[in-house]
Amino acid sequence: MSKTVAIVTGASQGIGGATAVRLARDFSALVLVARNQDKLDETARLVREAGAEALTIAVDLSEASAAKRIVDDTLAKFGRIDALLNIAGAVPQIDLFEMTDAQWDAGLALKLHGARRLTIAAWPALRAAKGSVVLISGNSAIFPKAPYAAVGTINAAIVALAKAFSDRGIEDGVQVNSVLPGAVMTGRRRSYLEHWAPLHGMTLEEATARFPKEAAIARYGEPAEIADLMAFLVSPAAKWMTGSALRMDGGEVKSI
């Protein structure tokens, strides 16, 4: 293994959980961060089955003290940080004219400021290891719409933040990129469709088929597919790639 310790936030489910399990093939230890301890324990079980050590840290990344705790616990347990994958951050999909300040602030605190604080806190260890950072955004950063105003705005800020970190990383030897997934079939998306379908007089099957058809894509993505891209970005094969924003959306974005 060329690297040893990776921190994965949002590791309790979805893309974060899939990424943690995938990285267990390449790293000797995974630090799993999310709010739900029971779900973290399940991810940790899968990581250990795949052959890596696992440390779970149940914490809310929107809290200012969370970043220091994560880095301190990681260094106390493993002594180094080779990769940081900032994946946590569910942002509510509420119309631009209906969102409250509190809802905006909650999305910013978790996804943007959580990633910013943790990356800064981990930076000295990442610099020492000549490590890698990935921040997850979303293709709504490219085409923000009124019904998804906070998602698009925060995702665009994530891309800009990653680019700024990558600029500093050129000097410090830390590689930083962002990933912009499209519509991925996570548990959260399934729950949304189950709620949305009856409100619009549709069966779950009809509601599930609606978006790929409207977006002119073949299908939804799978968390494991995004996880493979994450693993590539923190691998030696991608070491010269920094400051990039990589879309993986099944062709939803039609522009070049």
**pLDDT of 202-235, one tens digit each?**
999 999 999 999 999 999 999 999 999 999 999 9
Mean pLDDT in the chain?
A: 94
Give yes or no for a contact between 185 and 194, defined as CB atoms under 8 angstroms apart: no
Please say if the pLDDT value at position 160 is more than 50.
Answer: yes
**Top-confidence residue, 178 or 191:** 178
- Burial tier of 209 (Cβ tally within 10 Å: 0-12, 13-18, 19+): middle
User: CB under 8 Å to 164, separation ≥6 — which residues?
Assistant: none
Give yes or no for a contact between 221 and 184, defined as CB atoms under 8 angstroms apart: yes
Using one digit for the tens of pLDDT, what is the confidence trace for 102-133? 988 998 999 999 999 999 999 999 999 999 99
Per-residue pLDDT, averaged over 62-85, amounts to 98
C-alpha R_g of the chain:
18
User: CB under 8 Å to 66, separation ≥6 — which residues?
Assistant: 59, 60, 114, 117, 118
What is the set of domains in the chain, with CATH numbers? 5-184+222-248 (3.40.50.720), 185-220 (no CATH)
Candidates 249, 211, 243, 212; CA nearest to 229 is: 249
